[in-house]
Amino acid sequence: MQWETVIGLEIHAQLATRSKIFSGASTAFGAEPNTQACAVDLGLPGVLPVLNREAVVMAVRFSAAINADLERRSVFARKNYFYPDLPKGYQISQFELPIVGRGSVEILLEDGEIRTIGVTRAHLEEDAGKSLHGDFHGLTGIDLNRAGTPLLEIVSEPDMRSAKEAVAYARKIHQIVRYIGICDGNMQEGSFRADANVSVRRSGGELGTRAELKNLNSFRFLERAINFEVERQIDILESGGKVVQETRLYDPERDETRSMRSKEEANDYRYFPDPDLLPVELDDAFIAAAIEGMPELPDVRRVRFSEEYALGNSDAAQLTASRELADYYEATVEEGGDPRLAANWVTGELAAALNREGSDIGQSPITASMLAGLLQRISDNTISGKIAKQVFDAMWSSGGSADEIIENQGLKQITDSVALEGIVDEVVNANPSQVDAYRQADEKKQIKMLGFFVGQVMQASKGKANPKQVNELLRRKLTS
């Protein structure tokens, strides 16, 4: 039996505002419990929510970034349910008239195919607080610092057909919200969360019953949870059972999903327009100001990189993965680094070093202009690529410019032919048997054997000899 997987994602992106969506309390992460929960966030009587302009601006920017239909009039509604981390007994959200209408993004699949994934809508809402089930004498602790933090909930169409596609889509949204500076994308801190609606059906048949997967706080968990869930549903259907519509929690330790609660009752949210808030109306001037200064979007930048700097698709994609990295690369090129060389070093040596230290590009001890300085010395043959790695390591650990390090450590490439000839002569004289063997070998073998001599010369010169000149000199000396 052929089964087709159908996946839709609901992504909650915490908007990077300083204050909350409806109050002037701070949104800074990590504060002492309840020190950033004011009367509005606590839902005390007599308070009035007032909408944060910046949250609206950010929604407008997102709308522009995914080519969506921006709704000039949107309405806040109350979503009613009882839970201790929701003090008002309702969440202020948007229901019938969300601010962002239909849009789409393109995802690049592993085989190079590009797929368009529809975004149904995106709406503004407030986050809830946090429940802590620690040791509180059988009670639950509530921290309302997060209550009222602005969220943009981005709902996709059920357009994805595999866990890999779902991850590619989630990564794309993640990339976009970070590029346009509306969300820090930190998944550990919960700034970017994805829920997955997963169902399976017979190929081309009617949609199956879906399960909603929660607690997917990394792209890896998202992929694993979906894969587990698809298998689970197929097993049920193939053994003649029925999939139940429910919310399931992913347990990363056991790598499985399990039923959380039946949503039948919880789903009866009885939405109605919030009488505390008036409709949001956007005019041309507001929209123009909101999208002014929007950065170049990742897909556009990727295409430009591959054309302008003659980079392969994979390099261009890697370099534009985040705005910070793309900015770093372009700064390196602007400071005089050769574009191809810069691409190799940024995606190679630099990425590896950052990875080793678990830091990101913003924390790199080697600035773009420092890297450009190093690359220029490779391009003008002052140092070889091998020595350049040594200089790179020195820059990484103790700072300083490439020129300073090359000078202080005497790493300048030996291009003086007299000096090189001296070293080559020494090597030739010190290895008479290898020289004999070389002279008797055929041309093919000679090419292989030359490596031995080059290695010896490089060693004697501490890697500073110009490899090209060494090759030429050796060939001449060995054949004569």
Partner 1 sequence: MSLERSDVEKIAHLARLAVSSDELDSVAGDLSTILQLMEQMNAVNTDGVIPMAHPLHMAQRLRPDEVSEIDERDHFQSIAPATENGLYLVPRVIE
Which residues contact partner 1 (rule: CB under 8 A)?
A: 17-19, 23-26, 32-39, 42, 44, 50-56, 75, 80, 82-84, 97, 131-133, 136, 138-144, 249, 260-261, 265, 268, 270, 273, 275, 277-281
Smaller CB distance to partner 1: residue 101 or 467? 101
Which strand (E) or helix (H) includes residue 82?
none
Residues 6+ away with beta carbon under 8 Å from 293: none
One-letter amino acid for residue 177 of the chain: V
Least distance in Å: CB of 91 to partner 1?
15
Residues 6+ away with beta carbon under 8 Å from 443: none
Cα angle vertex 251, ends 246, 257, to 5°?
Answer: 35
Smaller CB distance to partner 1: residue 205 or 279? 279
3-state SS, residue 28: coil
Residues 6+ away with beta carbon under 8 Å from 265: none
Q: How far is CA 384 from CA 391, 398, 459, 468, in A?
A: 10, 21, 14, 10
Which strand (E) or helix (H) includes residue 109?
none
The pairing of beta strand 211-216 with beta strand 272-273: unpaired
Comparing CA positions, the residue from 31, 246, 269, 249 lying closest to residue 129 is 31
Comparing CA positions, the residue from 419, 433, 432 lying closest to residue 470 is 419
Helix 163-179 / helix 298-308 crossing angle, nearest 10 deg: 90
Smaller CB distance to partner 1: residue 22 or 221? 22
